[in-house]
Each structure stands twice: as C-alpha cells, then as structure tokens.
Copies of this chain bind each other. A is one copy, B any other.
Amino acid sequence: MNRQRTTITEIANKLGVSPSTVSRALHNHPAISDATKKAVLKLAKSLNYQPNLLALNLLRKKTNTIGVIVPEITSYFFSSIINGIQDFIKQADYNMVIGQSNESYKEERSIVDTFSSIQVDGFLISPSSSTKHFGHLQTLKENNIPLVIFDRDCEGVDVDKVFVDEYNGALQAVEYLINSGCKKIAHIAGPKILSTARHRLEGYKMALKMRGIPVEDQYIVKSNGFMPKHGINPTKKLLALPDPPDAIFAINDGVAIGAMSVIKAAGIKIPEEISILGFDDDPHSSYFKPSLSTVSQPTYEMGMLSARILMNRINSGNDLTKIRIESLYSELILRDSSRK
C-alpha cells in the first residue's frame, strides 16, 4: 500500500535508460537528445517526480537550509524578525528551520545540536536570557559553521552581529520625557543578563545624567518578563512610593500596557499625571486608550540584514577576520500616553 516517492531510477527503468540520462534530461543537459528529454520530462511529470534533496544534499554537503533560534515565537517582535529572514532567504532558494529556546539555555544547546546534525548551512541565533556560557556557539565557530547573532549580544563570541541601537533609542525616549516636563522618571527594567535590557537601562541613566537629574534606585524596578502581566507588580511598587514617578519608561510595550492598566485602575490620569513610554512598537500599541508612545525597532530589517550577512558568509570563504557588527536605528513614536 505504501506508495514510495518516485525516484530517478524508477523513471530510468520504466524508460529503459540509465539514471544518469534521466538526471541530465531533467537538468537540461545539452548532450541529451530531444526525444529522450521529452519522454523523461513527460513521465517525470505524470509520476509527480520530486527530487530527493536528502540525497543531493548529502552529495553536495550543503542543505540550503539555515537554522534560526529565537527565545520565543509568539511575540510580534521575534515573529516579524523571522518574516524578514524568510523574505530574504526565499529569493536565494533557502529554507529555514526554526527553534524556540523558551529562554532556556539547555533547550538552546539542544537545538543547536539538532540543527547541526541535520547539517544546516548556518545559524541565526538570538540567545536565550539564561545563556551565560557560549561553548555551544564557540563550537560552531570552531567547526567553521557560519553564525550570526542578532538582537541580543553574547560578549566574547566573535562572530557577525546585528543589533538595534537601543542605547540611543532609550536615551532619546527619556530625553523626550524630560523635555515634556517630567521630573521623576521611573524605569521598569528587564533582566540584566540581556544586553538589550542593559543598554536600555544605560540609555535611561545617561539621559538623566545629561540633564543633571539624579538617578534614583527607587525609580528603577525590575520586571520578570515581557508580557502585560509582568508590568503589574513593578508598577504597583512604583505607585506605592512616598514620592511616585510622573513618568514610566518601560522595558517594552507589553510591560507598558500592564503598567497602564494598573495606573488607570488607580484612577491616575495618563499622560497628565504619569507619562508612559514603551519599547518595540507592537501593532496593538496604537489601539490602546491612550495610545502608547513607544520606540519602534526595525525588526523586519534586522531579520533581512542578519539573513543577508549569513548568506554572504555561507557563499564566501567564511573569513572570520572580517567580522561585521551592524547597528540599526530605532525611532521614537509619540502617541497619547506621553505629554507633548
């Protein structure tokens, strides 16, 4: 019952020719007679022949497949990066396999191993927030398997990297808050282990310093994630301060939305009493009431650029003396959750 996939040998046997002839006919080799070519193409079509890439890839030692590893796939942030990657590699006839580390170092390691086994031609990795050791990435480098790290940095791993300049994004955002008259600006920070969270925090601090505003520990609280629910407790903590802030710069839009819900529930007016600023420009953010001011990151472009750099590596000698570190610009998007 189990009908096998049609193979070249099968076509060859049915036509009484050799597999080589069939292969050449299918690839328009000049040394094949028109009659044979025609017969082969016809039979191939009627049997719905599809080349077995497993065999070809084994022969070529190349799979035209890249491995993409992200912390999670359900956020718009990462899924739109993936869109950028896909649109770039599609035109080069590449495929990708996607792995989710779920912010777990162990899973990340295991996905790297799996993808290595299926012989991907290269990796595009945004490391998990619990990844502190980079042995698995170093191994890729040692084995000369192209790797591009994006969005989140791994210091000490010398490979191509693509980031967004989040430091300046945060700096400009907080500067804007200061210019609009806010004096007590709080920050809901992300996990310190993430370079992105650190850079946003640094940008926040620098903006304050530049204006001579003291950086106060009470105004820096930590969130344990990036969803609205993770913004709840940090915000409650801020509101409970003897001198609560008049602006909150949140690590991302999800957390900002959680913050807004707490603030509105407390009967505090946004932005009159407290300005809110997010990060990432989630597509939902403009539909909240008030609509959320935020810093937009070029996610799609980051995916495109990372893929482009990886493909370059794959198609060149992978000369690791020339490492590219790219930084993309973010953009401040002003809506109604921040004062003018």
Contacts and interface: CB of A to CB of B under 8 A. Distances in A.
Interface of A: 1-5, 48, 50-55, 57-58, 61, 63, 65, 73-74, 76, 79-80, 82-83, 86, 95-98, 100, 113-114, 116-119, 139, 142-144, 227-228, 257-258, 260-261, 264, 282-284, 286-289, 317-318
A117 B56 CA distance: 10
Contact of A100 (B2, B54, B83, B142): B83
B287 A53 contact: no
Contacts of A2: 144, 317-318
Contact of A52 (B73, B119, B284): B119
B98 A50 contact: no
Contacts of A117: 50-53
A218 to B, nearest CB: 26
Nearest to A285: B284
Nearest to A54: B58
B97 A114 contact: no
Contacts of A287: 228, 257-258, 260-261, 288
B79 A74 contact: yes
- Which of A1, A260, A282 counts the most B-chain CB atoms under 10 A from its CB? A1
A180 to B, nearest CB: 23
Nearest to A6: B143
A79 B236 CA distance: 31
A78 B74 CA distance: 8
A97 B100 contact: no
B74 A80 contact: yes
A283 B143 contact: no
B73 A119 contact: no
A242 B142 CA distance: 72
A239 to B, nearest CB: 17
Nearest to A74: B79
Contacts of A228: 283-284, 286-287
Contact of A54 (B3, B63, B139): B63
Contacts of A282: 284
The list of the 4 closest CB pairs from A to B, nearest first, reads: A74-B79, A54-B58, A53-B117, A284-B284
11 contacts: A5-B143, A50-B116, A54-B54, A54-B63, A65-B118, A73-B83, A97-B97, A228-B286, A258-B287, A287-B288, A289-B289
Nearest to A80: B74
Contacts of A51: 117
- Which of A73, A100, A257, A288 counts the most B-chain CB atoms under 10 A from its CB? A73
Given A74-B80, A289-B288, A283 B1 contact: no
